[in-house]
């Protein structure tokens, strides 16, 4: 008999086998209805094979669904991603089907001509309607506009039976991009990069590239030109551009529309579900050439994917840490390899893993060493707060205040960067020293003055600021400690009351629409001083911005995260890179208590290579990424004893392995989140050790009780 292995979109460890009924022809990628208990569920066929019998009776596939099948290479990718991340393959398949499971758009009411029916009165207006309509179907409003008549003329023809109304579920219309619509003028470095990228696609097969260019060097123009050349040679080619933040999509979409005369498709959480379904179906049918999206766009059913671009590839937002745990950059490289496509990792501050791959010759390394046009890199200086400390309860030193004033006099813009949301990161009691935390969570509550609430940024819990200390009951004893962007803005308004000031953080711009509106105001020169978190440090181009002030350059260097130095360098380089991107020179001032820190000295000297060399040497000495590999196991449960027992069981069951160490179990830095106790174990292995095989062998030795959640994080980026 024939048997189909079906991926069921549930957290089960493997595909389920079903008998294939006589006369039903199934192939890899087909979507089927299969029985699971008393109900039918959607599944994806992973494999069809013949067998002479089975030691158990198999249920039969109920039917093949009419929905488009997943292309076989998408199924390959889903299965690879599940193996790499140690995730249930059915959950990966569910991600690939997410767009198809969204509701269809509501049918659209249109009108069309009824054969052999003529109007009783052939007025000029009615004849204009019939001529404009022809054999098409149009909405009444569109038809009225096309014929330059009132809606009453359309209604009269419908009432007479000359036109009839029909309901049509419209397919998403994605106009074909025109590669010759509005070519950009490229400098020699950009042209060389575009030629190398397009040639890599033309040569066929998997080709990885690092597009390494300083901020403002025109990386986007280079890869848009490469896209144009690919489409010119192969009009059916599909291209995926991944971005780390929704806020960046609109600016890129506008640039793509201006370059190609047609807007690309969008794919991210801000797109309405019916529209996502339209995009999914258009991609599956090959009717959509360019998609701009978040990391989940990697799972779309491309039928002719030729080029994948990961913009700002260093950004930690590409790492998904809730639900399915994966890194979008790494899966993008895998998707391109499976598709036989080219992949471009673009950044002004590439991750050390990507730089290592380029140094080893695994990736072709394309460099853009200068800013585009007349723009030059900003001058960066360190402000030693030991010599120029801010006054009590203030956060801007005198040299930074003077620089802001000079910039405003010249009618230029200022960005004050502090990667800390809210008004104050800590609220404590002067009487007893109690720090306010979220209930059932070790995370401190952050004060937000705009809303008058204390918020846990980890769990979303919020409460009004209390008048009494919840620990000792003292009245008016709670004080705000440290600055957030709201507190810096308060100081700025006191110092420069005439300046137009705004805050850019996920609190003030909670969605893509509000982010685009604020970015446009800044671009149009309607804001003088922008106080911002990292939301403003990613790819934005503000022509009038000439001064960046970093309020606390030491912030990211605290703590024991192995990537702290790398992330701080990347974030500050990106933030300072917002200055001087047009015809006016820019500068950046970094306030610090430790100006001798290697990260800050490298930034001030503009010497990325020195920082990378030093950081790589430290990683190599400790056999940490990219010279080694890491994986984390996180246990959590409301039952602290169950977590403790399972962590001890895991510690006792560690398989013998060479060139590999396991650290822990230990309490997680945030040991209590939402009432769940948390423990962690960390695995470090040499680069050539199959860490996934080790984890599978290890976890197979221990039974995980239903009360404990076990999460595997391959290549962790967060150690909370």
447: helix, coil or strand? strand
Nearest-angstrom CA–CA distance, 182 and 257: 10
- Look at residue 147 and tell me whether its pLDDT is greater than 90: yes
* The domains spanning 108-168 and 628-714 adopt the same CATH topology: no
CATH architecture of the domain 108-168 equals Orthogonal Bundle (1.10)
Give the global pTM.
0.87
- Cis, bond preceding 67 (omega within 30 deg of 0): no
* pLDDT at residue number 557: 81
- What pLDDT does 171 receive? 67
User: For position 560, what pLDDT does the model report?
Assistant: 63
Distance separating the N- and C-terminal Cα atoms of the chain: 51
Q: Which fold has domain 628-714?
A: Alpha-Beta Plaits (3.30.70)
The average pLDDT across 358-384 equals 88
The mean per-residue pLDDT over the stretch 268-293 comes to 92
Is the per-residue pLDDT at 21 higher than 70?
yes
DSSP codes, 291-338: EEE-GGGGGS--SSEEEEEEETTT-GGGEE-SSS-EEHHHHHHHHHHH
Average pLDDT of 650-657?
Answer: 93
Identify the pLDDT of residue 538. 72
Residue pLDDT, tens place only, 188-206: 999 999 999 999 999 999 9
Does residue 595 surpass a pLDDT of 90? Answer: yes
E strands within 214-275? 238-242, 265-267
Token readout for 35 is: 């029985």
- pLDDT confidence tier of residue 103, bands split at 50, 70 and 90: confident
Question: d(Cα 393, Cα 480) in Å, to the nearest integer?
Answer: 10
- State residue 170's pLDDT score: 66
Lowest mean pLDDT among 17-26, 253-262, 472-481, 558-567: 558-567
Question: Which of the following CATH numbers is that of domain 2-96: 3.40.50.800, 3.40.1440.60, 3.30.1240.10, 3.40.50.150?
Answer: 3.40.1440.60
CA–CA separation, 613 vs 619, rounded Å? 10
Chain segment 526-552, per-residue pLDDT in tens = 999 999 988 777 767 888 999 999 999
pLDDT of residue 288: 94
Please give the mean pLDDT across all residues of the chain: 91
Question: What pLDDT digit, counting tens, does each position of 377-387 carry?
Answer: 889 999 999 99
pLDDT for 54: 64
Instruction: Mean pLDDT check: name the lowest of 373-377, 396-400, 414-418, 572-576.
Output: 373-377
pLDDT of amino acid 201:
93
The CATH number, out of the four listed (3.30.565.10, 3.40.50.300, 3.30.230.10, 2.40.30.170), of the domain defined by the range 188-368: 3.40.50.300
Selection from 328, 340, 183 nearest residue 258 by Cα: 183
Determine whether 531 is exposed, middle or buried from the number of CB atoms within 10 Å of its CB (0-12, 13-18, 19+): buried
Question: Considering only CA atoms, which of 574, 226, 210 is closest in space to residue 367?
Answer: 210
pLDDT at 579 over 90: no
Is the CATH code 3.40.50.300 the one for domain 379-420+483-617? Answer: yes
Q: At what angle do helices 608-622 and 598-605 cross, to 10 degrees?
A: 150
Is residue 441 helix, strand or coil? coil
CA 687 – CA 196 distance, rounded (Å):
30
**Angle subtended by helix axes 188-203 and 219-233, to nearest 10:** 40
- pLDDT tens readout for residues 418-437: 988 899 989 999 899 899 98
Q: Where are the domains of the chain?
A: 2-96, 108-168, 188-368, 379-420+483-617, 628-714
In this predicted structure, which of 245-259, 319-333, 389-403, 690-704 has the lowest mean pLDDT?
Answer: 245-259
What is 259-297 written as a DSSP string? Answer: HHSS--EEESTTS-HHHHHHHHHHHHTT---EEEE-GGG
pLDDT in tens, 399-416: 999 999 999 999 999 999
Nearest-angstrom CA–CA distance, 237 and 283: 11
| Res 53: pLDDT | 67
């Amino acid at each position: 008999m024939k048997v189909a292995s079906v991926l069921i979109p549930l957290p089960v460890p493997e595909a389920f086998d079903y008998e294939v009924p006589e006369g039903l022809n199934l192939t890899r990628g087909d979507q089927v209805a299969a029985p699971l208990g008393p109900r039918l569920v959607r599944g994806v066929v992973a494999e069809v094979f013949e067998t002479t019998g089975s030691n158990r009776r198999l249920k039969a596939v109920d039917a093949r669904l009419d929905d488009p099948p997943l292309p076989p290479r998408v199924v390959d990718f889903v299965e690879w991603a599940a193996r790499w991340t140690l995730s249930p393959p059915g959950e990966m398949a569910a991600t690939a089907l997410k767009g198809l499971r969204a509701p269809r758009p509501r049918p659209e009411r249109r009108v069309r001509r009824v054969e052999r029916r003529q109007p009783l009165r052939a007025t000029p207006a009615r004849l204009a309607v019939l001529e404009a309509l022809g054999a098409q179907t149009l909405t009444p409003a569109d038809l009225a506009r096309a014929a330059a008549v009132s809606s009453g003329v359309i209604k009269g023809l419908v009432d007479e039976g000359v036109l009839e109304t029909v309901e049509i579920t419209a397919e998403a219309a994605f106009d074909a991009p025109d590669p010759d619509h509005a070519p950009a003028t490229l400098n020699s470095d950009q042209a060389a990069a575009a030629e190398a990228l397009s040639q890599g696609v033309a040569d066929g097969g998997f080709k990885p590239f690092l597009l390494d260019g300083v901020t403002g060097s025109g990386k986007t123009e280079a890869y848009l030109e490469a896209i144009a050349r690919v489409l010119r040679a192969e009009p059916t080619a599909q291209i995926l551009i991944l971005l780390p933040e929704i806020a960046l999509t609109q600016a890129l979409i506008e640039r793509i529309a201006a370059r190609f005369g047609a807007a690309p498709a969008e794919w991210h959480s801000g797109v309405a579900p019916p529209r996502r379904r339209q995009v999914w179906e258009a991609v599956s049918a090959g009717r959509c050439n360019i998609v701009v999206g978040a990391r989940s766009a990697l799972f779309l059913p491309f039928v002719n994917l030729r080029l994948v671009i990961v913009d700002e590839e260093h950004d930690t937002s590409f790492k998904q840490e809730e639900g399915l745990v994966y890194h979008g950059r790494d899966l993008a490289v895998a998707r391109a390899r499976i598709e036989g496509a080219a992949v471009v990792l673009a950044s002004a501050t590439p991750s050390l893993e990507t730089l290592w791959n380029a140094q080893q010759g695994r990736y072709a390394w394309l460099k853009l060493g200068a800013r585009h046009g007349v723009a030059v890199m900003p001058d960066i200086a360190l402000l030693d707060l030991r010599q120029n400390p801010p006054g009590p309860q203030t956060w801007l030193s005198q040299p930074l205040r003077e620089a802001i004033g000079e910039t405003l006099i010249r009618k230029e813009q200022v960005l004050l960067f502090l990667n800390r949301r809210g008004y104050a990161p800590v609220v404590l009691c002067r009487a007893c020293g109690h720090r306010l935390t979220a209930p059932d969570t070790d995370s401190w509550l952050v004060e937000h003055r705009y809303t008058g609430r204390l918020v846990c940024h980890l769990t979303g819990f919020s409460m009004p600021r209390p008048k009494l200390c919840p620990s000792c009951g003292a009245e008016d004893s709670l004080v705000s400690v440290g600055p957030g962007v709201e507190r810096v803005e308060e100081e700025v308004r006191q110092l420069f009351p005439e300046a137009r000031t705004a805050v850019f953080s996920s609190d003030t711009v909670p969605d893509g629409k509000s982010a685009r509106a604020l970015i446009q105001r800044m671009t149009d020169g309607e804001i003088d001083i922008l106080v911002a978190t990292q939301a403003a440090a990613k790819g934005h181009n503000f022509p009038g911005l000439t001064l960046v002030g970093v309020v606390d350059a030491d912030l990211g260097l605290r703590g024991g995260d192995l990537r702290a130095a790398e992330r701080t360098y990347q974030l500050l380089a990106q933030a300072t890179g917002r200055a001087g991107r047009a015809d006016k020179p820019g500068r950046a001032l970094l306030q610090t208590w430790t100006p001798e820190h290697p990260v800050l000295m490298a930034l001030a000297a503009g010497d990325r290579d020195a920082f990378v060399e030093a950081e790589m040497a430290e990683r190599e000495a400790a056999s940490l990424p990219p010279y080694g590999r890491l994986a984390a196991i996180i246990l959590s449960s409301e039952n602290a004893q169950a977590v403790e027992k399972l962590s001890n069981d895991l510690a006792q069951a560690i398989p013998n392995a060479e060139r590999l160490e396991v650290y822990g179990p230990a309490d997680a830095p945030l040991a209590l989140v939402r009432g769940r106790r948390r423990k962690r174990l960390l695995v470090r292995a040499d680069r050539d050790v199959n860490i996934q095989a080790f984890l599978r062998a290890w976890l197979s030795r221990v039974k995980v009780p239903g009360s404990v959640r076990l999460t595997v994080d391959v290549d962790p980026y967060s150690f909370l």
